[in-house]
Amino acid sequence: MVRFTKKRAGLGYSLAVGALVGISFAVVFAAGFFFRDVVGLNSVFAAPFRQSDEAYPLLAEVQLLLDQHYLRDQPDYAARQYAAVRGLLGSLGDRYTFFVEPPVAQSESDVLAGTYGGIGVQLRRNEDGDIVLYPYPDSPAEAAGIRDGDTLVEVNGEVVNLDIQQDVLDQTMRGEVKEGNGVDLVVRHPDGEELSTFIAFDVINVPSVIWRMLEQHPTLGYAQILRFTSRTPEELQTAIQDLNDAGMEALVLDLRNNSGGLLQESVEVAGKFLKADTIVVYEQDKDSEQIFQTEGDGSATEVPMVVIVNQGTASAAELVAGAIRDQERGILIGQDTYGKGTVQQIFRLSDDSSLHITSAQWFTPNRNKLEGQGLKPDITMIPDPNGRDVELGEAVRQLQQQLG
């Protein structure tokens, strides 16, 4: 649960708590966090500059002169309107306030849906340099017999070696869902037995949280949050329960390459690790300040933990990492985070395009600014050039020291 209060910026008294109106979903886009307000707006550009004539007389004057004198055919009205909107927004000098044309605006929703064609498996390179697999629950990979921690030996007849890029391998596990499409794999189970199988591509619903006990360290739990969706708090709660049932004594929380998501859910996630009435984040708009706090003790407030971050950790993920560090619940290991500390409202316009407007900024519980600065880890790690997961190795060492 989450509680928030709202007060006038810079003043010592509180105002009544306001409701968050019109926020229906958020989209991971442009390395950041967004509110989406689905608002039926009459765009000021809904007709050819019709409603903009009074507000922007010079623009209307230029259009009139173009109509009278321009030699060549002009782009259609929509193209000119979109260009005018982009010019207007570009004058703000804010890269997170921007305009999105209708087809791309529609695809924003698809990003949050988190579906793709593939076999449903996560690839990681361990400290030894091997590519290991972790199938998603109920995925084609799991159904084919792929197990957590399997080492990838061959892909489509090609032997996997240290020189193969992980992202290239990842793409071989994805593709269009149609008859005959899939991938041939040879994997080696942790017990040494090998499995050779063809796995057909299917529609994969990507979970927002992946968890497991670390194979080489059976008392250490691992949970990676890929993005913050409406399902994340529930998925994380399931993860914590499963890890506790498996004997977890300490936890690695992995927020690498998590570019953000929903605010309410990210605050609830932070609340899993914090005591009741703990400040998670300050959010300031141009008129007021809103304080987000936990409500009730979280389910993992005592377990020792570390958080892994990198330059792909952005927005809502930075919010969670900052709260855990500032409230002295865990240290940060990895690289400096992205530095995305502003909130964008997304308005659907009359032609199904959308407008992203920066409306607020975030500060950690210790009043540290996120925008443009990010978070500096307590232990900075240089990424391994061969892709070995040295950050996870350091996280394990830190937790083992805490556990004695």
Residue 123: φ, ψ to 5°: -105, 135
| pLDDT at res. 327 | 97
Q: Can you give the pLDDT at residue 106? A: 52
Q: 339 lies in a domain?
A: yes
Average pLDDT over residues 211-223: 93
Which residue, 205, 231, 258, sits at the end of a domain?
205
pLDDT value of position 105? 52
**Do 128 and 173 fall into the same domain?**
yes
> Are residues 223 and 370 located together in one domain of the fold?
yes
Task: Of 125-134, 183-192, 338-347, give the range with the top mean pLDDT.
Answer: 183-192
Q: Is the pLDDT of residue 229 over 60?
A: yes
As a whole number of Å, the CA-based R_g of the chain is 24
In this structure, is residue 135 part of a structural domain?
A: yes
Per-residue confidence band for 201, with pLDDT thresholds at 50, 70 and 90: very high
Report yes or no: 118 and 102 within 8 Å, Cβ to Cβ. no
Please name the residue that has the structure tokens 């039926």: 40
Number of domains in the chain: 2
Top-confidence residue, 261 or 274 = 274
Q: Is residue 80 part of a domain?
A: no
Question: Which of 172, 205, 238 finishes a domain?
Answer: 205
In this prediction, residue 185 carries a pLDDT of: 96
Span 167-190, average pLDDT: 89
Same domain for 215 and 201?
no
Average per-residue pLDDT in the chain?
Answer: 83
By percentage, how much of the chain surpasses pLDDT 90?
57
In our burial notation (b when 16+ CB lie closer than 10 A, e otherwise), range 167-204 reads eebeebbebeeeeeebbebbbbeeeeeeeeeebbbbeb
Same domain, 400 and 318: yes
Q: Hey, is 349 helix, strand or coil? A: coil
Same domain, 180 and 284: no
Distances from the Cα of 268 to the Cα of 36, 228, 236, 275, 344, angstroms:
19, 10, 10, 12, 20
The per-residue pLDDT for 5 is 54
| Inter-residue contact 322 to 365 (CB < 8 Å) | yes
Whole-number pLDDT of residue 101: 81
What is the domain extent for residue 303?
1-12+21-42+99-114+206-404
Assess if residue 303 is contained within a domain: yes
AA letter at 395: A
Count the Cβ atoms, other than its own, within 10 Å of residue 159.
10
Give the pLDDT band (50/70/90) at residue 366.
very high
> Residue 213 belongs to a domain with what CATH number?
3.90.226.10
pLDDT at 51 over 50: no
Distance, CA of 45 to CA of 84 (rounded, Å): 9
pLDDT in tens, 293-332: 998 889 999 999 999 999 999 999 999 999 999 999 999 9
Overall pTM surpassing 0.85 (yes/no): no
Mean predicted confidence (pLDDT) in 354-370: 94
For position 157, which CATH number holds? Answer: 2.30.42.10
Does residue 393 sit in the same domain as residue 255? Answer: yes
Alpha-carbon distance of 182 to 201, in angstroms, equals 5
Q: For the segment 181-197, what is each residue's pLDDT rounded down to a tens digit?
A: 999 999 999 999 999 99
* Domain identity same for 217 and 337: yes
Q: Is residue 53 part of a domain?
A: no
Please determine, for residue 205, whether its predicted confidence score (pLDDT) is greater than 60.
yes
| 247 and 201 co-located in one domain | no
Kindly list the distances between the CA atom of residue 242 and the CA atoms of 34, 143, 211, 220, in Å, as whole numbers in the listed order.
Answer: 31, 21, 9, 12
pLDDT at residue 169 tops 90: no
Least confident of 43-52, 247-256, 365-374: 43-52
Q: Which of 205, 235, 268 is the last residue of a domain?
A: 205
Whether 246 and 260 map to the same domain: the answer is yes
Q: How many CB atoms lie within 10 A of CB 401?
A: 9
Q: Across 31-45, 65-79, 102-116, which has the greatest mean pLDDT?
A: 65-79
374 against 20, higher pLDDT: 374
Q: Are 129 and 243 contained in the same domain?
A: no
In a domain, 249, yes or no: yes
Given a contact cutoff of 8 angstroms between Cβ atoms, the answer to whether 360 and 329 are in contact is no
How confident is residue 108, by pLDDT bands cut at 50, 70 and 90?
Answer: low
pLDDT band at 289 (very low <50, low <70, confident <90, very high): very high
Asked whether residue 404 falls in the same domain as residue 296, the answer is: yes
Is residue 204 pLDDT above 50, yes or no?
yes
- Whether residue 85 lies inside any domain: the answer is no
pLDDT at 52 over 60: no
- HSE (side-chain half, CA atoms, 13 Å) at 58: 2
Is 345 contained in some domain? yes
| 75: DSSP letter | P
Query: Do 328 and 191 lie in a common domain?
Result: no
* 31 has a pLDDT exceeding 70: no
